[in-house]
Each structure stands twice: as C-alpha cells, then as structure tokens.
Amino acid sequence: MLVSGMKTGNSKLKAKIQESLYKNVPAAEVRLLILENILLNPACDIYLLVGTSIQYKVQKMRQGKITELAMPCDQYELQLQNSVFGPDGAPHRHLAKLDRATSTVTALQQGQANIVLNYKSILLD
C-alpha cells in the first residue's frame, strides 16, 4: 500500500484485508503526521576522500516547484551520526564533522557516517 499526503496535518489510516480467508483479522490503524515535502540534496550515497567536503542543501517541494531552505533554520536541523565506538561502548572518535552554519560535511578519516535531517518539533523513538 502506498499513501501520499494531500496536505499537512494529522490523519488516521485504517486498513483491513478484504480476502475472506482473513475475515477474523482485525483492521490495523495508524496515526499519520503529514509534513512538508522536504528533500536533502544530494540524496544519494556520497564518497569523500579524507579532508574533502560536500555541502548539503535542504529543499522544499510545493506544487511541483522546488525552493531552497536557508539553513540553519528553526524547523529543521542536520545531524551527523558518525562516531566509531571504543571497547567500552563510548564514542571513540569522529569520522566526519558537520559545519551547521554552512551544512558542510568534511571527512576526517575512513569509515561510514550518516547525515540526518530532523524536524525539530518531533521526537521519534
């Protein structure tokens, strides 16, 4: 099942299998929070040499038109998940650094890091 939001806001989605074999299976219901159509550009895997950088752009798509959001901003923040953990489970060293003022990621050493765009008003578990 593919669901697409028509406008921002809250909604409930309820689904039930109509096949007679599953008549005793109750319907499933989920609460959806529909936000803006936000893009992180580039949106693909990036391979950097140590010491090189890439600048990310945050873009909003509305009615087929793409506009760039100035970062940092009040609604969204970029977060870099890039720690290598030591034997004690604590973060040992960083693979890359994020300059939040320019949305630029610089590779510090070999490894894999993830960049995440968070909506500040929502905390997901």
pLDDT tens for the 125 residues of the chain, in order = 667 777 778 888 899 999 999 999 999 999 888 778 889 999 999 999 999 999 999 999 888 899 999 999 998 999 999 867 667 777 677 899 999 999 999 999 988 899 999 888 766 55
Residue 25: inside a domain, yes or no? no
Residue 20: inside a domain, yes or no? no
- Residue 19: the pLDDT is 92
Range of the domain at 48: 37-119
Could you tell me the two tokens for 73?
């901003």
Residue 22: inside a domain, yes or no? no
Q: What angle do CA 97, 101, 102 make, to 5 degrees?
A: 75
- Number of structural domains the chain divides into: 1
Residue 46: inside a domain, yes or no? yes
Residue 87: inside a domain, yes or no? yes
User: Tokens 């219901």 sit at which residue?
Assistant: 29
- Residue 1: the pLDDT is 66
d(CA 122, CA 38): 15
d(CA 66, CA 78): 19
CB distance 82 to 96 below 8 Å = yes
Residue 73: inside a domain, yes or no? yes
- Burial class of 96 by CB neighbour count within 10 A (0 to 12, 13 to 18, 19+): buried
Which three-class secondary structure state does DSSP give residue 113? coil
